[in-house]
């Protein structure tokens, strides 16, 4: 019989709806039941495409004996970290402080007042490699709860007080300058892996936001070192196993330093960020590889993640059926030489083995290899390779596909909107711009209420109950600002303004300019979460600073500019010390230092050829964080266009800073030069 999770919208929670565990969703009712029953709370946090979450569910939560013990002695609460990033952040901070590490599934034991007192991540069904079994943990915690309740309460109270007293060093309200950005670049150079690209060791994550900083720093200063780190890292990733060499798109991370073997889940946010990175790399260098990867990644998102409602699903699982009924990580993506020969025949398989770096021993497990591009493309016949790719992709499509988490997350869809809008504009792909518009329409129609407040998620055309957090407001505003620049439709600028007004009013500390991840009127947890550092995606703090700065550049709004510059104070403090973990903040700081430049393109109509040429030239400018407005001189949708006439009846472009403009030009080449120096 299904438990309470059967009524939820989260695919992750629904995966546990038939567990024998009597799960509760995160709710006041669950904690009230814990108080009435005198039981502690087991909080289990995970997400749909999490491999070890599935493992622990199969081993423990689907086990009747374990479930009976949980039901007798605990109130069990299941949380989808993607729906409730605030809950996840608060308790992950406690887990990391107590154990020195974190991860998912996250397992936390709480008092009925939601105060944590014991922590862990994955627990096996039997003792293993020094880890206790899950049942041993449950019995030990229960014993402490029954026999040493006062001691447990003291521990929980101390942990909660310690969390509440933690403060972030904001670095004041002054944005970073030349010195701090140069120090950040030096720090990245020290951590750079010159042999393999990227930063640090294994596991190695795509450094999307750091690459955006490096590209902007190069554009502003001409630093060849910054460009080389960005270009080489992008090439290594694109040629590695972390990139899907048949279907496009990136896996979550590489388990090794060389980008060979990925953790195979594919996340929307990774692919949105990397699509934009490769498009920007092409814009800066003209790299054909960057162009191909940007377009293939965009096509992957549209083909495999777009939902019937027009939004983009959260993720594809790492695991899939290997053809024998077993769910195995990577089964959908890896190949043996025999499988290649079966599909391609002996001669083409021999070429595929060399081209994709497939070996008899395998680069993954059980003799299978992850496809890579270890050799230069020019060594192979392009037409033959294209045919092989097409045949292998077609054959792979007959394999059992990984599961898809169809949940629409507002923030990640905002990132996808920005990436698809820009990629479509750069490469003359109106279908990609239309896909971005479709997702933007969904966010307005379904996630935005009459007061411009955002719902965090939706699924199957139904908005979820959870309120949007800072990253939702910031990333959706970023997407809307990109749509405004690309389409010339001022309504997107207006929607972005609504969201950013909420950022200032409900997420910002008025005096310090510090930002919180949850709104002042959101559900009160044991701590109001606040984190300026980038993780898998830009922090809400960095993203808000960027969107506020762009909006101010488009509109001249002084409060938004001031809020952006105050928010960048934390980048001044952290950028030189931990540049890998505040890359988007550094990228925003580059835009702030450059102006950012504001480009107004006016023409007789948006369809006029001369106007379109100037508009595309403006979008392709590499000036850090430049904003673009396009329309007719009579348009009142973009403040940047006010009092910007045509020049002798011809379309014209104005390049400005703080609404003070250089002489207008009708020449695309002059505009290009103005935006690249």
- What's 121's domain CATH number? 3.40.30.10
Task: Give the separation between CA 600 and CA 33, rounded to whole angstroms.
Answer: 59
pLDDT at residue 377 in the model? 85
What does the pLDDT read at residue 593? 97
Closest C-alpha among 55, 42, 206 to residue 138: 42
Please list, in sequence order, all residues whose beta carbon lies within 8 angstroms of the beta carbon of residue 644, skipping any fewer than 6 positions away.
600, 602, 633, 652, 654, 661, 664
Question: Rounded to whole angstroms, how far apart are CA atoms 533 and 528?
Answer: 16
Residue 49's pLDDT is what? 82
- 208 and 103 in a common domain: no
Same domain, 392 and 412: no
Do residues 381 and 512 share a domain? no
Express each pLDDT in 42-95 by its tens digit: 999 999 888 889 899 999 999 999 999 999 999 999 999 999 999 999 999 988
Q: Are residues 134 and 195 in the same domain?
A: no
CB atoms within 10 A of CB 339: 17
In angstroms, the CA 612 to CA 80 distance is: 44
Are 56 and 93 members of one domain? yes
What's the rounded Cα separation, in Å, for the pair 421 and 276?
A: 10
Domain harbouring 556, CATH code = 1.50.10.10
| Three-state secondary-structure class, residue 420 | helix
Integer angstrom CA distances of residue 397 from 160, 263, 296, 352, 377: 50, 20, 17, 18, 25
379, part of any domain: yes
Give residue 640's pLDDT: 96
Give 500-552 pLDDT, tens digit per residue.
999 999 999 988 889 999 999 999 999 999 999 999 999 999 999 999 999 99
Long-range (24+ apart) CB contacts under 8 A made by 117-120 are: 117/152, 117/155, 117/156, 117/159, 118/144, 119/94, 119/95, 120/95
Residue 324 lies in a domain: no
C-alpha dist (Å) from residue 496 to 54, 159, 199, 551:
38, 39, 34, 8
173 within some domain? no
472 and 393 share one domain: no
Q: What is the pLDDT of residue 166?
A: 76
Segment 349-355 long-range contacts (CB within 8 Å, at least 24 positions apart): 351/380, 351/384, 351/385, 351/388, 352/388, 352/392, 354/380, 355/380, 355/385, 355/388
Choose one of 594, 622, 643: the last residue of a domain.
594
Residue 614 and residue 474 in one domain: no
Residue 581: inside a domain: yes
SS3 (DSSP) at 76 = strand
341 shares its domain with 442: no
Angle at 517 between CA 531 and CA 28, to 5 degrees: 120
Give the pair of three-digit tokens for residue 504: 């200032």
* Nearest C-alpha neighbor of 332 from the set 262, 255, 402, 243: 402
To 10 degrees, what angle do helices 64-73 and 134-147 make?
20
534 with 561, same domain?
A: yes
pTM of the model as a whole = 0.95
Check residue 1 and give its pLDDT.
66
Secondary structure of 7-34 in the HEC alphabet?
Answer: HCCCHHHHHCCCCCCCCEECCHHHHHHH
CA trace torsion 459, 460, 462, 465 (10° rounding): -20
Task: Compute the distance between CA of residue 276 and CA of residue 424 in angstroms, rounded to an integer.
Answer: 11
- Mention every residue, 6+ apart, whose C-beta is less than 8 A from residue 278: 234, 238, 290, 291, 293, 294, 297
352, 373, 398: which is the final residue of a domain?
A: 398
CA distance 357 to 274: 23
Domain count, the chain: 4
Determine, yes or no, domain membership for 170: no
Residue 228's alpha-carbon distances to 194, 412, 674, in angstroms, are 10, 28, 23
Residue 408 DSSP symbol: E
Task: Identify the segments of the chain with pLDDT beneath 70.
Answer: 1, 167-171
Per-residue pLDDT at 322: 80
Going from the C-alpha of 396 to that of each of 391, 514, 527, 676, the distances in angstroms are 9, 49, 47, 43
Q: Which residues are registered as beta bridge partners of 656?
A: 598, 661
Cα 569 from Cα 553, distance rounded (Å): 19
Structural domain ending residue among the three candidates 541, 573, 594 = 594
Q: Mark whether 261 and 350 lie in a shared domain.
A: no
Instruction: Write down the pLDDT at residue 327.
Output: 84
> What sign does the CA torsion over 253, 259, 262, 268 have?
positive
Residue 100: predicted pLDDT: 80
- Return the ∠ at Cα 224 (arms to 218 and 228), rounded to 5°: 95
Residue 171 lies in a domain: no
Partnered with residue 515 across adjacent β-strands are 508
Do 122 and 189 have their domain in common? no
**pLDDT value at position 515?**
96
Six-digit token string for 119: 């922590």
Length of the chain: 677
Q: Can you give the residue range of the structural domain that contains 375? A: 333-398
| Same-domain status, 547 and 643 | no
């Amino acid at each position: 019989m299904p438990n309470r999770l059967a009524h939820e919208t989260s695919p992750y929670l629904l995966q546990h709806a038939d567990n024998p565990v009597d799960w509760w969703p995160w709710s006041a009712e669950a904690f009230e039941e814990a108080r009435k029953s005198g039981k502690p709370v087991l909080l289990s946090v995970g997400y749909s495409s999490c491999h070890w979450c599935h493992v622990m569910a199969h081993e423990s939560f689907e086990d009747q004996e374990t479930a009976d013990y949980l039901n007798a002695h605990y109130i069990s609460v299941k949380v989808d970290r993607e729906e409730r990033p605030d809950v996840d952040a608060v308790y992950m901070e406690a887990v990391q402080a107590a154990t020195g590490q974190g991860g998912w599934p996250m397992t936390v034991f709480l008092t009925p007042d939601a105060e944590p007192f014991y922590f862990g991540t994955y627990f096996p069904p039997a003792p293993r490699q020094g880890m206790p079994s899950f049942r041993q943990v449950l019995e030990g915690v229960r014993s402490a709860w029954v026999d040493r309740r006062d001691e447990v309460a003291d521990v929980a109270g101390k942990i909660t007080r310690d969390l509440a007293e933690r403060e972030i060093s904001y670095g004041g309200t002054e944005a970073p300058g030349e010195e701090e950005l140069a120090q950040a670049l030096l720090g990245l150079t020290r951590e750079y892996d010159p042999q393999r690209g990227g930063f640090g060791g294994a596991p190695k994550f795509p450094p999307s936001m750091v690459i955006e900083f490096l590209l902007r720093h190069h554009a502003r200063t001409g630093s060849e070192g910054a460009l080389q780190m960005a270009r080489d890292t992008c090439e290594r990733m694109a040629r590695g196993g972390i990139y899907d060499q048949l279907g496009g798109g990136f896996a979550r991370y590489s388990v090794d330093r060389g980008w060979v073997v990925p953790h195979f889940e594919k996340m929307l946010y990774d692919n949105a960020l990397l699509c934009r990175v490769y498009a920007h790399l092409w814009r800066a260098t003209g790299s054909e590889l960057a162009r191909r990867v940007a377009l293939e990644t965009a096509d992957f998102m549209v083909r495999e993640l777009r939902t019937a409602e027009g939004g983009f699903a959260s993720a594809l699982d790492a695991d899939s059926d290997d053809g024998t009924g077993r769910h195995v990580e990577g089964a959908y993506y890896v190949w043996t030489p025999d499988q290649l020969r079966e599909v391609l025949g002996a001669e083409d398989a021999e070429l595929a083995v060399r081209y994709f770096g497939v070996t008899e021993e395998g680069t993954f497990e059980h003799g299978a290899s992850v496809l890579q591009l270890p050799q230069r493309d020019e060594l192979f016949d392009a037409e033959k390779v294209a045919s092989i790719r097409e045949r292998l992709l077609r054959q792979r499509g007959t394999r059992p596909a990984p599961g898809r988490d169809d949940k629409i997350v507002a923030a990640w869809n905002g990132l996808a909107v920005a990436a698809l809008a820009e990629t479509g504009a750069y490469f003359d792909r109106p279908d990609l711009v239309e896909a971005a518009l479709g997702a933007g329409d969904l966010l307005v129609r379904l996630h935005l209420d009459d007061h411009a407040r955002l719902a965090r998620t939706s699924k199957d055309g139904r908005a979820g109950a959870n309120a949007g957090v800072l990253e939702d407001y910031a990333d959706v505003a970023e997407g809307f600002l990109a749509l405004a620049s690309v389409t010339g439709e001022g309504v997107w600028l207006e929607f972005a303004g609504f969201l950013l007004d909420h950022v200032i009013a409900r997420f910002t500390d008025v005096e310090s300019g510090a930002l919180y991840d949850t709104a002042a009127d959101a559900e009160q947890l044991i701590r109001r979460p606040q984190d300026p550092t980038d993780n898998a995606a830009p922090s809400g703090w960095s993203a808000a600073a960027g969107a506020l700065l762009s909006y101010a550049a488009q509109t001249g709004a002084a409060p938004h500019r001031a809020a952006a510059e105050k928010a960048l104070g934390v980048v001044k403090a952290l950028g030189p010390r931990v540049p890998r973990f505040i890359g988007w903040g550094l990228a925003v700081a580059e835009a702030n230092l450059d102006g950012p430049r504001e480009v107004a393109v006016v023409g007789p109509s948006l369809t006029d050829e001369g106007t379109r040429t100037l508009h595309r030239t403006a979008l392709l400018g590499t000036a850090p964080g430049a904003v673009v407005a396009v329309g007719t001189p009579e348009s009142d949708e973009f403040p940047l266009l006010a009092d910007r006439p045509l020049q002798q009846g011809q379309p014209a472009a104005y390049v400005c800073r703080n609404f003070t403009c250089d002489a207008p030009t009708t020449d695309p080449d002059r505009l290009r030069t103005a935006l690249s120096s």
